[in-house]
Amino acid sequence: MTPSEKLPGRLVVLDHPLVQHKLTRLRQSTTSTAGFRRLAREISLLMAYEATRDLPLEEVEIETPLERTTGRLLSGKKLCFVSILRAGNGILDGMLDLVPAARVGHVGLYRDHVTLEPVQYYLKLPDDMGERLCIVVDPMLATGHSAIAAVDRLKAAGARQISFVCLLAAPEGVERFHARHPDVKLITAAIDRELDSNGYIRPGLGDAGDRLFGTK
């Protein structure tokens, strides 16, 4: 049984042709830093379309150049993107292109390469998290530890409506994440084969942060 079969409605794998095309380009080792950064921004904008699908709307009266009519606008619900530093910023930029008025939070986590556990070094969130629709972004869901830690901190701050968006996920990470946070919707472009002994997603796309920022 696949992770999506175990978690109907809580796991969305985007199979849109443009998403899959850009993801394949991201995976290629020959893609330059500039190209990787551009593709990540483009694919994140497409993923934001899915992540914001359930935003509430309200009817309003407007004047077109020809007549008065009724349209729909986003209701007063507050939206917040939360980036898991540092690689999450590569996804954040494209989402802000689509929703520039959204508030932004940051969770600074790095993975201890021995224990594979997340270590927090920074946390800054908007006020009134309990009133916000929160979308957490990070390119990879590998072991799931960082994603779990980030959502733990959002819930501790009062957040109640949370989604998690990533480019790639490993089956082990999906299972661990939803065991801890079964209420959080997970949106990804692909679920890869497995984690290797070092906790990297295979076939994966390498270290997303290094490829985004040109570091080793």
**Could you list the active site residues?**
111, 115, 207, 210
- Report whether 211 belongs to an annotated binding site: no
Burial (0-12, 13-18, 19+ Cβ within 10 Å), 133: buried
- Report whether 201 belongs to an annotated binding site: yes
- Report whether 103 belongs to an annotated binding site: no
Report the b/e string of 174-191 with b at 16+ CB within 10 A. Answer: bebbbeebeebbbbbbbb
What does the angle CA 83 – CA 43 – CA 172 come to, to the nearest 5 degrees? 65
- Report whether 95 belongs to an annotated binding site: no
Using CA atoms, how far apart are residues 195 and 190, in angstroms rounded to an integer? 14
Using CA atoms, how far apart are residues 167 and 157, in angstroms rounded to an integer? 26
- Residue matched to tokens 């997970």: 186
- Report whether 142 belongs to an annotated binding site: yes
- Report whether 162 belongs to an annotated binding site: no
- 149-to-24, 75, 107, 109 alpha-carbon distances in Å: 29, 30, 9, 8
- Report whether 143 belongs to an annotated binding site: yes
- Report whether 214 belongs to an annotated binding site: no
- Report whether 111 belongs to an annotated binding site: yes
Using CA atoms, how far apart are residues 122 and 166, in angstroms rounded to an integer? 20
- Report whether 86 belongs to an annotated binding site: yes
- Report whether 144 belongs to an annotated binding site: yes
Annotated binding residues for 5-phospho-alpha-D-ribose 1-diphosphate: 86, 111, 138-146, 207
Annotated binding site for uracil: 201, 206-208
Give binding residues as ranges.
86, 111, 138-146, 201, 206-208
